[in-house]
Structure formats: structure tokens, C-alpha cells
Amino acid sequence: MSTTTHARRQVLAASEPAARDDRQASLREYVMCRPDHFTVAYAINPWMDPTRPVDTALAIDQWELLRAAYLSLGHRVHLLEPAAGLPDMVFAANGAFVVGDRALGARFREPVRTGEAPAHAGLLTALGIDVAAPTAVNEGEGDFAWAYGRVLAASGFRAEPAARAELAATFAVPVVPLELVDPRFYHLDVALAVLDERTVAYYPPAFSAESRAWILGQFPDAIEVGPADAMVLGLNCVSDGRHVVLAAQATELAGLLSERGFVPVPVDLSELLKAGGGVKCCTLELHRPVSPAHSDPLHPLGSAEGSIRTDLEI
Ligand code: ARG
């Protein structure tokens, strides 16, 4: 460390919470799908009420702000072509689970979403990723969370326990079983967020007693979220190690994140919440080092999505 950097750290240490200067962002690569055909046409989770009106234009505007937030943080966003008749396709996180240049494809539990899986597999293949075909039900990053060297894999409502063996076989990493118990928190990514190598945030009542004990044992610094933040899907957030993009309504969680030295980036996705989805649901992360070679065949270099920035401070 240079003398100047050292001096700056000492000044910061005097004026800011200790952890703040340590949080490092890293460039991320995401897949998103514009909610052109978003609506609530059926109910496959307790958040969905098909009789309640949905403003698709507002959903698109809100989603565009989420995409803009990622781009302003320097992240790369690949776009999946939205398809008519697949109103939940905006929830790209469910389309696969990707680590390195391998993916486990999705096999949706509900027939109304099964058409999304081949679209994801096609895009990922075009991005140079080898997609393994699933046998058991799994909804991608909905129930699987990459925890830097291992995968947290939930079951209870959507992914089948048998999907864990497929994860282990595809990625050759340890897979940790977790059990969800509250139908409102039907996917892992609405109940727990991995913020960095050491830190998770979670809503304890969404998990079985055994799973709660495991989480606390492994992550003694875990941020426990209360019902107010959980019920606006505050945990359905996306971290780059420093910035945490989260529901604007999750104000208590934003405060807790700031105290820990993270930088909350609030985004309002109120229309998408009507389908039981939020920030993370809209975002499939490709857990691989971002390189200029990973260009997007649908949006080649030269578009905003192709740009790489290294200055991640905001
Ligand atoms: N309506 C969608 C469903 O129930 C919401 C999916 C949200 N996605 C997620 N990753 N939690 O399948």
C-alpha cells in the first residue's frame, strides 16, 4: 500500500465506520429480460392476484431504471428477448444457474413457465456457456445462491431436493441444503441474499430451525431482516461486493447495509412485486470473470451494454 493510500485510510478510519473502506466492488455480468409482456395472468405464488390490475408500461419504466443502475455501476447486462405469452419471463434469475462457463438449465415447476427455459439455454449457449440439461425441477438462481465456492440450494416450494446432486455434478463444488417453510418466501432469493464472501442477509422465519442454525453457524455476521423489509422483498437484492441494489421500500435494510459499509442503491419495482418478484428475480448473474471477450450477440460491442468501466465508486 502506498504512503498516500495508507494516510487516506487512516483519515477514513477516523471519520467513517471501520468496514466502509474495505468493501470492494467487482464487475458483474447479468442477464435481464424486459417486461414487455409482463402481467399477472395466473397465481403460482401467494403474491399473485390476477384480478388486480397491472400497469405494464410502468413495469417497463421501473425495470429500465434497474438496468440503468447496473450500467451506471459499470456492470454488463445481456438482454434476453421477451416472448409473448410468458408474462413471468422478466424474472430472468429463474432461467439457469451459471458458474464459470457452465450452466445448469432450469426445469420450471409450473407449466405456465416451462417455455422460458429454452430461451435462456439459447442465449447462454450463444454466450459461450455449456448448458447441462436438468432432470429434477429447479428454477435457477431462484433457489440456488452462489456463495463463493459453494452453492446454497433451497427446497420446500419450487426446486426439488434431487436438483442438488445435479448442481454438484455440474459444477464440482459443495452444495449446502436449506429448507424454506413459509409459502410467501417460496424461493431462496426472496429470503436470503449473499452480499459478499462473509456476509449474508436473511429473514429467519422463512427457514426451518435446522437451516437457521446452519446459516448462523457459517455466517456469524449475518444481517437479520425483519418482516417489514422481508415483505417488500428487500432481500431480493443484488450485491457487487460494495453496492447493494435493493427495493426502495426496504428502508430499514438499507440502513443496516450502510452501517456495515455497503452502499445501498434503491430501485422501485412496485409493479413487479405484484407477481412476487423484485430486483434479484429480474437478474440472472453469470458467475464468471467479466472479460471484453464476453460480448453479447444480441447487443454487440458499441451499445451501452458492451461498455466496461473500472471506476466503480459512486
Ligand atoms: N411469478 C413468478 C413465479 O412465481 C415470480 C418469480 C420470482 N423469481 C425469483 N427469482 N424469486 O414463478
Asked if residue 17 is part of any domain, the answer here is no
Report which residue type is found at 232.
Answer: V
Q: pLDDT band for position 292 (50/70/90)?
A: low
How does pLDDT run across 92-122, given as a tens digit for each residue? 999 999 999 999 999 999 999 999 999 999 9
Asked if residue 213 is part of any domain, the answer here is yes
Asked if residue 305 is part of any domain, the answer here is no
SS3 262: coil
Asked if residue 117 is part of any domain, the answer here is yes
CATH number of the domain that residue 104 is part of: 3.75.10.10
Asked if residue 129 is part of any domain, the answer here is yes
pLDDT exceeds 50 at position 302: no
pLDDT exceeds 70 at position 16: no
* E strand or H helix that includes residue 46: none
Contact present, 267 and 30 (Cβ < 8 Å)? no
SS3 111: helix
More confident of the two residues 193 and 300:
193
How does pLDDT run across 134-167, given as a tens digit for each residue? 999 999 999 999 999 999 999 999 999 999 999 9
Q: DSSP label at 303?
A: B
Asked if residue 179 is part of any domain, the answer here is yes
Asked if residue 11 is part of any domain, the answer here is no
Asked if residue 7 is part of any domain, the answer here is no
Rounded to the nearest angstrom, the distance between the alpha carbon of 118 and the centre of ligand 1 is: 17
Low-confidence winner among 6-10, 72-76, 171-175, 185-189 (lowest mean pLDDT): 6-10
Rounded CA separation 102/174 (Å): 16
**The pLDDT of residue 290:** 86
Rounded to the nearest angstrom, the distance between the alpha carbon of 303 and the centre of ligand 1 is: 29
Ligand 1 pocket test, pick from 91, 113, 120 with the greatest ligand atom count within 8 Å of Cβ, gives 91
**The pLDDT of residue 20:** 53
Q: Which atom of ligand 1 is nearest to the CA of 44?
A: 4
**The pLDDT of residue 11:** 38
Contact present, 59 and 11 (Cβ < 8 Å)? no
More confident of the two residues 2 and 232:
232
How many independent structural domains does the chain possess? 1
Under the phi-then-psi rule, with left for phi > 0, alpha for psi from -120 to 50, and beta for the rest, what region is 105? Answer: beta
Contact present, 287 and 99 (Cβ < 8 Å)? yes
Give φ, ψ of 14 to 5 degrees.
-75, -25
Question: Number of H helices and number of E strands within the chain?
Answer: 8, 15
How does pLDDT run across 71-93, given as a tens digit for each residue? 999 999 999 999 999 999 999 99
> What pTM did the predictor assign?
0.88
Is residue 14 classed exposed, middle or buried when 0-12, 13-18 and 19+ CB atoms within 10 A define those classes? exposed
Q: In what order do the strands lie in the sheet with 144-146?
A: 144-146, 151-155, 175-179
- Please give the residue range of the domain that contains residue 119: 24-287
Q: Tell the residue number behind the cell numbers 442454525, with chain if given.
A: 213
Instruction: Catalogue the active-site residues.
Output: 187, 281
pLDDT exceeds 70 at position 213: yes
Q: Which atom of ligand 1 is nearest to the CA of 140?
A: 10
Residues in contact with ligand 1 (CB, 6 Å cut-off) = 44-45, 48, 88, 91, 93-94, 113, 142, 187, 189-190, 275-277, 281
What Cα–Cα distance (Å) separates residue 292 from each residue in 77, 102, 272? Answer: 13, 18, 32
Low-confidence winner among 176-180, 187-191, 287-291 (lowest mean pLDDT): 287-291
From the list 211, 239, 236, the residue with the least C-alpha distance to 225 is: 236
Rounded CA separation 29/74 (Å): 10
Contact present, 87 and 41 (Cβ < 8 Å)? yes
